[in-house]
Amino acid sequence: MAPPLADARISSTRLWGDLMALGEIVEPGQPYTRRSFSAKFVEGREWLAARFRDAGMSVRIDAGGNLVGRRTGRRPGAATIMIGSHSDSVPGGGRFDGIAGVIAGLEIARALADNGISLEHALEVIDFLAEEPSEFGLSCIGSRAMAGALEESQLEQVGPGGETLRSAIERVGGVPGRINDARRGDIGAFLELHIEQGPVLEARGLDVGIVTAIVGITRLELRFVGEAAHAGTAPMIGRRDAAVAAAEVVLAVRDLARTLDARGEGYFVATAGVVDVRPNAANVVPGEARLVIDARCENTSSMKRFVDDLRARAAGIAAASATELAGFEVLSDNDPAHCDPQLQQVLLASAAAVGCSAMSMASGAGHDAAFLSRVAPSAMVFVPCRGGRSHCPQEWSEPAQLVAGAAVMLEATLRIDRAALRANAEGDR
Ligand SMILES: [Zn+2]
């Protein structure tokens, strides 16, 4: 096995100190809330920008409102290596989701600076604007902009106090009038470290997960119409109970998803998170039911099979419950984003080189890397988090777990820097 390239070491004290310091810049009495576009968010970014400068990086906010620290490379015109995630949180969130990825990027830049290592490629550390669903009804705002996927119409979406997203981006230093300037074509590799937000790595005692794909999400709405009736006088035989149909669908969703996930053709989960029966009264046989299904896949063929099978099952359920399947609608349908296979290999080799155990796994949650993968080879490193808990104040990863993830990223950065050079040298011949 090749020895690690990284002489530079990730400082646990510094990385942890920064995470905890940023964890103090949150809404008072509401741990740990730093909503995008809020005063605390801006304050957190000012703190981050100062740390970026301390690490010898130049700092700017791009047209999409992303905070970018840049370390120039030795070779002018070479592609950029980008590392980062997001510093905003959900309401009542944790100190690690997103933030760990930004601080890991910062720490990597510092580790390189400490050891006098200059890369051939420019290195950028990024804090994407508003990854979590914002008050403007949109998530991943900064990474969308960087992928050229932030629409003019989305800029007009209105948030608190009637402010448009356009003016909010301007308020945090972006230039929505030139939003296309945020689009990047120069990124040779994007790496994002993130807490897993699930229980798998902890349960298996592994150091890191190398992400294969960020799931595609399909949302379906099903509606059943039966007949409302008196709960006391309508005999059990002959009822047209829409809630019975809904209950059968909940079970069918679980069974189909379990079968698809067990096929070995990629991660698959599905949830009936909305079950709404009418009139929702104790003494009335429900006459109508509406369900919203959230299904997530690593590959689109599994999703197609799920939708087809669920449609067939729903028709059968309607017939069996003497209800009518009045609607089966696809509300939204996003394809999975695949992580770059070569970068995955570099990350796996880097993990082995620095002595970290690793597994390949899909991400069931959305991330900025999904948008970045549209314009750059992108990959992700997951680190374990306690009990798989996330989006809550109890969110936790141990310092050693974060250091291990950052060390894998640092090693990968050096390998990418060198590998890309080799590729170019071959190209020159
Ligand atoms: Zn996140």
- From the CA of 132, how far away is ligand 1's center (Å)? 7
- From the CA of 321, how far away is ligand 1's center (Å)? 42
* Percentage above 90 pLDDT, the chain: 95
pLDDT in tens, 166-209: 999 999 999 999 999 999 999 999 999 999 999 999 999 999 99
- From the CA of 366, how far away is ligand 1's center (Å)? 8
- From the CA of 381, how far away is ligand 1's center (Å)? 12
Q: How far is 243 from 321, CA to CA, in rounded Å?
A: 9
Does residue 413 surpass a pLDDT of 60?
yes
| Torsion sign across C-alpha atoms 193, 44, 181, 60 | negative
Angle between helices 99-114 and 39-54 (to 10 degrees): 20
If you search the block for the tokens 């009045």, which residue do you land on?
A: 326
pLDDT in tens, 229-280: 999 999 999 999 999 999 999 999 999 999 999 999 999 999 999 999 999 9
- From the CA of 399, how far away is ligand 1's center (Å)? 18
Threshold 0.85, pTM exceeds: yes
- From the CA of 373, how far away is ligand 1's center (Å)? 16
Query: Which protein residues have their CB within 5 A of the ion that is ligand 1?
Result: 97-98
- From the CA of 231, how far away is ligand 1's center (Å)? 47
Residue ranges with strand state E in 196-238: 208-214, 216-225, 229-230
- From the CA of 51, how far away is ligand 1's center (Å)? 21
Mean pLDDT of 286-296: 98
- From the CA of 293, how far away is ligand 1's center (Å)? 23
If you search the block for the tokens 């940023």, which residue do you land on?
A: 22
- From the CA of 248, how far away is ligand 1's center (Å)? 34
Which residues, in sequence order, are bridge partners of residue 333?
218
Pick from 80, 111, 66: which is nearest to 190 by CA? Answer: 80
- Identify whether the C-beta of residue 68 lies closer than 8 Å to the C-beta of residue 50: no
If 0-12 CB within 10 Å is exposed, 13-18 middle and 19+ buried, where does residue 14 land? Answer: middle
- From the CA of 251, how far away is ligand 1's center (Å)? 30
- From the CA of 37, how far away is ligand 1's center (Å)? 16
Instruction: Please report which helix (H) or strand (E) contains residue 381, including its range.
Output: strand 378-383
- Identify whether the C-beta of residue 336 lies closer than 8 Å to the C-beta of residue 216: yes
Q: How far from 302 is each of 120, 167, 274, 339, CA to CA, in Å? A: 42, 41, 22, 18
